[in-house]
Amino acid sequence: MNVPLLDLKAQFLPIRTEIMAEVQAICDEQSFIMGSRVMAFEESVATYTGARYAIGCASGSDALLLSLMAMGVKAGDEVVTVPFTFFATAGAISRLGAKPVFVDIHPDTFNIDPQLIERAITSRTKAIMPVHLFGQCADMAAINEIAKRNNVYVIEDAAQAIGAGLQGKRAGVLGDTGCFSFFPTKNLGGFGDGGLITTNDKVLADSMAMLRVHGSQVRYLHEAVGINSRLDALQAAVLRIKLKYLDQWTEGRRKNAERYQYLFAKTKHVDCVTLPHTTPGNFHVYNQFTVRAPKRDALRAFLKEKGIGTEVYYPLPMHLQNCYRELGHQKRSFPLSEQAADEVMSLPIYAELTEAQQAYVVEMIAEFYKRA
């Protein structure tokens, strides 16, 4: 049996006609950058997340960068974040000449451990940037409390968490800005790169809307040095259609996650695998279903042989990356991030996955540990 990690064709097929009509309309219009389709999509995401403002941009990486720029983060400043994340989180901070100050994760959720944040804050700290990793929100109540007390901003890296919720609120309104990615493998994926920032703060919203078009409000007049980071009409049109189905797809992912829990619980030889943990009040959207597995690399090789796709998000924490050598961290600086990098593995969880495919995945994992 073949079980890919993700099957975007299965998602596309039922909405093909609807999407192709929009693609055709845009081709006929030959109007590609920004425009009414982008505005309509921004409005839809604002409504969906509950945010007052939504600003489309070219990628999730740029959403983070634009947030930091609007907050005035510059060379010499510090931003607190996690080492166990996709590179863009730390990269956005460094791009502005600021320093990513890492704090370790909580082993249950893979998200920033709020208990460790306070001691990482200095007079140079401008913001805290938690990541809602794998689709589960970080402990935002604790983070916001620390941020308020220290007068720093909070930027949600919600790239993996559109639709995720915490205490009845959605990701994107849990900090000062919420940063989303529409990279094709995210829960709301475009037909290329795309991103968006949400906020309830008018000053930040205006600033980000200006910074994404080279700091210009009136054409050829520039108020600030911005960047070129626009969402194009094609992406906006595709994403606006897909947004209508997002909750349905999320339900599919959540049902599959529940089924994995059930299948693992009743299967012999797999009790050594640690399944994802959801903390109370969280609405997990499972961009990834990430487990900890002994002998992970051998298990992955075995599953690959059996036609099952898996991936390691992420194999090397930021503080051990070559480009961050100058920060002077060593191995064991952030032991829980390092341990996670060594142990984690993501299993197929997409909405169209069948029961038979899931049963096969668990059966093959059991087969591996039986032999091991």
Ligand X SMILES: *Cc1c(COP(=O)(O)O)cnc(C)c1O
Give me the residues that bind ligand X (CB under 6 A), please.
59-61, 85-86, 88-89, 131, 157, 159-160, 181, 183, 193, 195
User: Phi-psi region for residue 273, left (φ > 0), alpha (ψ -120 to 50) or beta?
Assistant: beta
Of residues 61 and 109, the one with the C-beta less far from ligand X: 61
Amino acid at residue number 123: S
Q: In the complex, what is the shortest distance from the CB of residue 201 to ligand X, in angstroms, rounded to a whole number?
A: 21
Number of helices and strands in the chain (H, E) = 11, 14
Residue (131 or 146) nearer to ligand X, CB: 131
Closer residue to ligand X in complex, CB, 67/207 = 67
Residue nearest to ligand X (CB): 60
Give the shortest CB-315-to-ligand X separation in angstroms: 14
CA–CA separation, 34 and 236 (whole Å): 8
Q: For ligand X, which is the closer residue by CB, 60 or 317?
A: 60
- Shortest distance (Å) from residue 349 CB to ligand X: 15
Are 84 and 314 contacting, i.e. CB atoms less than 8 angstroms apart? yes
Closest to 116 (Cα-Cα) out of 138, 134, 91, 85: 138
Give me the least distance between CB of 357 and ligand X, in Å please.
24
Identify the burial level of 111 via C-beta atoms within 10 angstroms of its C-beta, where 0-12 means exposed, 13-18 middle and 19 or more buried.
Answer: buried
CB of residue 250 to ligand X, shortest distance in Å: 16
Q: For strand 78-81 and strand 125-129, is the pairing parallel, antiparallel, or unpaired?
A: parallel
Q: Between 88 and 147, whose beta carbon lies closer to ligand X?
A: 88
Q: What secondary structure letter does DSSP report for 104?
A: P
Q: How far is the CB of 193 from ligand X (least distance, A)?
A: 6
End-to-end CA distance of the chain: 22
Query: In this complex, which beta carbon is closest to ligand X, that of residue 117 or of residue 362?
Result: 117
N residues, the chain: 372
Q: Which is nearer to ligand X, 143 or 362 (CB)?
A: 143
329-365 burial string, b = 16+ CB within 10 Å, else e? beeebbebbbbbbebbbbbbbbbbbeeebbebbbebb
Closest approach of Cβ 298 to ligand X, in Å?
A: 26
